[in-house]
Structure 1
Amino acid sequence: MPSTRDRQRDRLKGLLVFRAVLVTLFLGSAVALDVRTFASVSEPRNLTLLGLIVGTYALTIAHGLALRQRLKPQTLAWAQILGDLGVTTILALVSGGFDSLFLFFFHLTIINAAIVLGRAGGLVASGLTVLSLSYLALVSAGILPHPILSEPPALQAWRTIAYEVVVNSVGGIMIAVLAGHLAERLGEATEALQRRDIDLQELRALNEHILSSLSSGLLTVDGRGNVIFMNRAAEEITSWTSKHVLGRALSELFPNLADAALGPHFGKDPRLESTFTRPDGSQVHLGFSVSPLRNSESVEVGRIIIFQDLSDIRKLEEQMKRSERLAAVGQLSAAIAHEIRNPLASISGSVEMLHADEAIDDENRLLMDIVLREVDRLNGLITDFLAYCQPRPLRAERRDLRELLEELLHLYRSQAERDRIHLDVDLIPQSEPVEAMVDAEALRQILWNLLINAGDAVRSRAPEDRQVRVELNATTLGQQPAWVIAIEDSGAGVASDLRDRIFEPFFTTKDHGTGLGLATNFRLAESHGGRISVEAPLHLKGARFELVIPAATDSPPESNPRLPSPEAVEEAS
């Protein structure tokens, strides 16, 4: 809030402007109307008028410069008031005494003093006015000689002079009291308004800070359905900026939100969900609620829409459902696998005994070889599946993920060169530690399976289009720091309707394989407290698999999860 000095300085500036206008208006018009002023400049009266005009302008300029020098405003105010009283006294002396047109300048000076210096300043100015009027009375009565004119105006009667002195003095004192009172009230009102303005600014700033600090997106629309406010969280969730959104129709920017907020079914569902497509084409799952926006008179003037990005929550829900489904399938399949292995052993033993009989002809021996080969294949499949269903204890240790990944990529490069695959690697710089608590053998199995799948996906492409990209970046898992390893290829990608099934056991899009590779990867990632998912490609046009592993912390792990046995498992796309 401005201080008393600042207010005095502002009022002094106004007083300077007022004086300049007054001098120009009255003294300038008086000189202009009396053309003899310029014809006889040597006359004391005319010379005095012109000197007052020039002097007043000079003093105004001098006071303005003094204000810029940050001098004490109270000292400057008294200098201006005393100067104005002196100028007014001289004007009255040369323009007819108590008959002067400029006599009311005394009262204007008292008002100015009260405004700038308060009631005390107005009373002091009125007292000085009484002294000036007394001096003017002595000159008008001929008791004192006229200080300027050689031929003073006609003398006036003492009764008339006394009347003028008393009326103007009493009027000046009353004006000082009244103007001082009004100036004090004006100052109090100004301070109250300034305090209210400051309170309003602080309240507005607090309101803006609260809205900008909300983790939920907030939109407000007016009665016509146009967006009138958008907070920072809404910008981050939707990737729209307030500058781009404000004033535009909600139905144009957020059609799904508009149907719920402005449609005929408003208010029936307290909580709604919808998908939203960002400007870059990515989609987010939004949960939102709509409330009426009311003014101070409780009249509805629009809508308030509060929404959150539920994409991560939906992914977690899908992973939980998938984990439950895989657990049920695993338990059932493990029991079935045990039951199948016993008959397979009997079949294999019996056929081997028949195969040893020398009386068997070549055709039957060939058929027995086929049976034995298929029995071995089925037995290998059961072995792999039991390894998936029967986890082993996690041998976790603090390892540098960059180092593990570089070792694996060194092995994979020879295969990539053989298949004429361009390998693009983008890892975190060496200066940053990339540590996590992992089972190195299991992690190598996950990454190797993903690299083999990526290579299989691009092998059908032309050599110049065979690309595999490997990334290592920082991210978060829930609220905790984590690392994400992404493997992206330029193959055909994964159809959207297959993404929910791709991690299920025995599901594969290949012509060969068991369909256990990605299912095993999923269990391995879960055992590390992380996740694996298939995402929309960012750099290439194929599939993008992301493995998220929690970053290493100083606290020891709370449990000892179990991992599937990292034996060789056939990979599945």
Structure 2
Amino acid sequence: MNVSDGVANPVRQRIFSNMMSGLVVISRNGMVHSINRYAEQVLCLRSEDIIGQPAEAILNPHRSLLSQINKVTAHHETSSSDFQLTFPDGQKKHIEMTASCLKFETGNSKLETQNSESEARNGLNSECEGEGSERSVLLIFRDITQRKKMEMHLRRSDRLVSLGTLAAGIAHEIRNPLTGISLLLDDLHDRMESRHEDRVLMQKALEEIEKLDKIITELLGFASKPTPIRVMKDLNEVIDHTLFLVRKQCETQQVSIIRDIDKDIPPLRKR
């Protein structure tokens, strides 16, 4: 890979070329000064095609990236952001980038970045515009496309968990009255011995309720169990309601139920 004189030192060039972050240097006159291998791969560019070429033309498809360069050039301030790049083939990449002012000493081709906050705050303009130096822009970035996909996957998983919990709660609330309706219809069905057509309709209704119950069972098998909510309830009411629902089944099986409860039982907490 060709790297311009700004990083001509062999050791420095080796480090520059093999960093696991993209590095691009834009010179004061807006030309591409240097680019490392990682940046070439991410931006789908070749150093031999762009070194010495106008950055405005090379990076024109990526307006977000150009805006960061213009911001640093105009205000001499470090700028960090992440954005999405769209390439001509439709490929999209999420980039996390920091753009900063860079000192390029023309006398000995030395590049220096501002390493401390105080230098960046107090001496940036002078170092970017000082005598014997050129003001350049350094872009350091990483491809975070996979990280973004993982974050999106986690958010989707969280939504599915919430949806499962909600579905389980709704299914439980539907199943309870559905069981009561089924028992009552079954009772009415048995009382219509002389009304064949009505018995047929009632039987159809019971079959549909069985289908709904099967769907709810499958839904509960998929969904996570909801967190139980306990409330105060009169135990006598619960017993009477239960006896009313099972009365028909007990009569069919010739089971007698003796109701003997204490009216002074205090309310109990139930789900």
TM > 0.5 fold call: yes
| 1:342/1:217 CA distance change after superposition, 3 Å | same
Structure 2 residue 91 is the aligned partner of structure 1 residue 282: yes
From 198, 208, 220, the equivalent of 2:25 is: 220
Question: Contact 1:240/1:279 (CA < 8 Å) preserved in 2?
Answer: no
Partner of 2:119: none
Deviation at 1:332, TM superposition (A): 3.1
Within the alignment, does 1:358 sit opposite 2:166 as a pair?
Answer: no
C-alpha change, 1:320 and 1:305, in structure 2 (3 Å) is same
Q: Tell me how far 1:243 sits from its aligned partner.
A: 2.6
CA distance in 2, matches of 1:247, 1:322: 45
Residue 90 of structure 2 aligns to a residue in which SS?
coil
Cα distance between partner residues in 1 of 2:14 and 2:178 = 71
Alpha-carbon distance change, 372 to 233 in structure 1, aligned in 2, over 3 angstroms: farther
Instruction: Output aligned runs, 1:412-561, within 5 Å.
Output: none
Distance 1:365 1:313, change over 3 A: same
**Where in structure 2 are there 5+ consecutive unaligned residues?**
107-126, 128-132, 226-271
Deviation at 1:321, TM superposition (A): 1.7
1:208 aligns with 2:13: yes
Shift of 1:217: 0.9
| Structure label with greater radius of gyration | 1
Instruction: Map 1:326-405 to 2 at 5 A.
Output: 326-356=160-190, 357-360=192-195, 362=197, 365-366=200-201, 369=204, 371-390=205-224
Deviation at 1:238, TM superposition (A): 2.0
Quote the Cα distance in structure 2 between the aligned partners of 1:332 and 1:304: 50
1:243 equivalent to 2:243? Answer no
> Which of 81, 85, 88 is equivalent to 1:272?
81
What is the SS of the residue equivalent to 1:295?
strand
Per-residue CA deviation, residues 69-112 of structure 1 (Å, 9 max, x unaligned), is xxxxxxxxxxxxxxxxxxxxxxxxxxxxxxxxxxxxxxxxxxxx
Is 1:317 the equivalent of 2:151? yes
Which 4+ residue blocks in structure 1 deviate beyond 6 angstroms? Answer: none
Conserved? CA contact 2:68–2:79, under 8 Å:
no
When residues 273 and 267 of structure 1 are mapped into structure 2, their CA distance, relative to the original with a 3 A threshold, is farther
Equivalent in the alignment of 1:258: 66
Specify the code of the residue in structure 1 equivalent to 2:102: L
Q: After superposition, what is the alpha-carbon deviation per residue over 1:385-439, rounded to whole angstroms, capped at 9, x for unaligned? A: 2222249xxxxxxxxxxxxxxxxxxxxxxxxxxxxxxxxxxxxxxxxxxxxxxxx
Q: Does the CA contact (< 8 Å) of 2:164 and 2:224 recur in 1?
A: no
Quick one: which of 139, 142, 150 aligns to 1:308? 142
- Kindly indicate whether the alpha-carbon contact (under 8 Å) linking 2:105 and 2:134 is maintained by their aligned counterparts in 1: no
C-alpha spacing 1:238/1:222, structure 2 compared with 1 (3 Å): same
State how far apart, in whole Å, the 1-side matches of 2:206 and 2:76 are: 69
User: What SS is found at the alignment partner of 2:79?
Assistant: coil
- Cα RMSD of the aligned pairs, angstroms, is 2.9
TM-fit CA distance, 1:309: 0.9
Pairwise mapping of residues 101-250 of structure 1 onto structure 2 (< 5 A)?
A: 204-250=9-55
**Cα distance in 2 between the residues matched to 1:267 and 1:384:** 62
Report the alpha carbon displacement of residue 334 of structure 1 after superposing the two structures with TM.
1.9
- Quick one: percent identity of the two aligned structures? 29
Following the alignment from structure 1 to structure 2, what is the Cα–Cα distance between the partners of residues 360 and 314?
A: 66
Q: Once the 2 structures are TM-superposed, how far is the Cα of residue 259 of structure 1 from its aligned partner?
A: 0.8
- How many Å separate the matches in 2 of 1:225 and 1:350? 83
Distance in 2 (alpha carbons) for counterparts of 1:212 and 1:377: 66
The residue type equivalent to 2:67 in the other structure is: D
Query: Helix, strand or coil: the match of 1:338?
Result: helix
Shift of 1:284: 0.4
TM-score by length of 1: 0.30
State the secondary structure of the residue aligned to 1:358: coil
Q: Give the unaligned 5+ runs of structure 1.
A: 1-199, 392-573
Question: Which structure shows the higher helix fraction?
Answer: 1
Q: CA deviation at 1:248?
A: 3.2
Report 1 or 2 for greater relative contact order, CA contacts < 8 Å, sequence distance ≥ 6: 2
Paired residue for 1:181? none
Confirm or deny: 8 A CA contact 2:25 2:32 kept in the other structure: yes
Secondary structure at the residue paired with 2:9?
A: helix
1:269 Cα deviation from its structure 2 partner: 6.5
1:367 deviates by 6.5
Q: Which whole-Å CA distance do the structure 2 matches of 1:266 and 1:314 have between them? A: 30
Partners of 1:262 and 1:294 lie apart in 2 by 16
Q: Which residue does 2:258 correspond to in 1? A: none
SS at match of 2:30: coil
Partners of 1:210 and 1:310 in 2: CA distance: 22
